[in-house]
Amino acid sequence: MLTEERYQIILETLKKKGIVKIHELVKLTNTSESTIRRDLTYLESINQLKRIHGGATLLKGRFNEPSYSEKQIQNIDKKSVIAKYAASLIDEGDCIYLDAGTTTYEVIKYIDKKDIVVVTNGLKHIDELIERNISAYILGGKIKARTKAVIGSDALKNLEKFRFDKCFIGINGIHPEYGFTTPDSEEAILKETAINLSREVFVLADESKFGEVAFVKVADLRKAEIITNEEPEDLERYMDKTKVKVVTE
């Protein structure tokens, strides 16, 4: 089979299914696994797909953003693993910034320290923090209904008053060249500011976020340590610029 024919089969299969495994493509094209891996690497290099562990997926639109409800049911087991480890990094006496998002929300469930203060822009976070008797502040500002986040200039002014020992940030895209990115410029500014106001910074992201590039840059990779559940395909490219902590349980 000609190389161009394989490319066509790979891309057509992706359009139909959204995600495809290497072993499926081996059968469809009657070629070796190493050949398919080379094909995927090339197609990724020309922005036709995104490689993931064991296969490939369609690229997402840079401005595309799932709602909070959609995110809430995606990869929940992976988010819990990441969140449990993140919570273990919190020490008594810490001042914490907890970004809006479904993975950062999961962190609250695992916090076992009481002498801490949490500042958040996550509307969903507040009830859970109150239930656990954790001292908390919520930023005031404009409500973004889709992500259940507080954003805007008022929220930014509010945030700039604080200084944090640690912050935990949710993100849409992580790329070795383009850094941390998110679809919304107002959320990007809040995330960037929280990062700059924190002594230690952790980005919480499952493996699907690696290789993605959203609309607005938040920060360079060197600005934060990444906590994830699975090694990205090209781990070395990330490790050259930041720390990547992979947790599995």
Over range 133-155, report the average pLDDT: 95
Q: What is the percent of the chain with per-residue pLDDT over 70, rounded to a whole number?
A: 94
Residues forming a β-bridge with 97: 119, 167
pLDDT in tens, 61-96: 655 555 554 554 456 788 999 999 999 999 999 999
The reported pTM is 0.76
Lowest mean pLDDT among 2-16, 42-56, 214-228: 42-56
Decide if pLDDT at 180 tops 90: yes
pLDDT number for residue 73: 45
Query: 16 versus 129: which is more confidently predicted?
Result: 129
- Hey, which bits of 125-171 come out as E strands? 135-138, 142-144, 149-151, 164-170
Distance CA 231, CA 153 (A): 37
pLDDT number for residue 219: 97
The first and second tokens of residue 119, run together, are 């500042």
Decide if pLDDT at 232 tops 90: no
Q: Which fold has domain 3-57?
A: Arc Repressor Mutant, subunit A (1.10.10)
pLDDT number for residue 202: 98
Q: What CATH number has the domain spanning 68-246?
A: 3.40.50.1360
> What are the distances in angstroms from CA 7 to CA 38, 85, 171?
11, 40, 31
What are the boundaries of each domain within the chain? 3-57, 68-246
Lowest mean pLDDT among 32-46, 68-82, 161-175, 235-249: 68-82
Return the closest-CA partner of residue 202 out of 151, 165, 154. 165
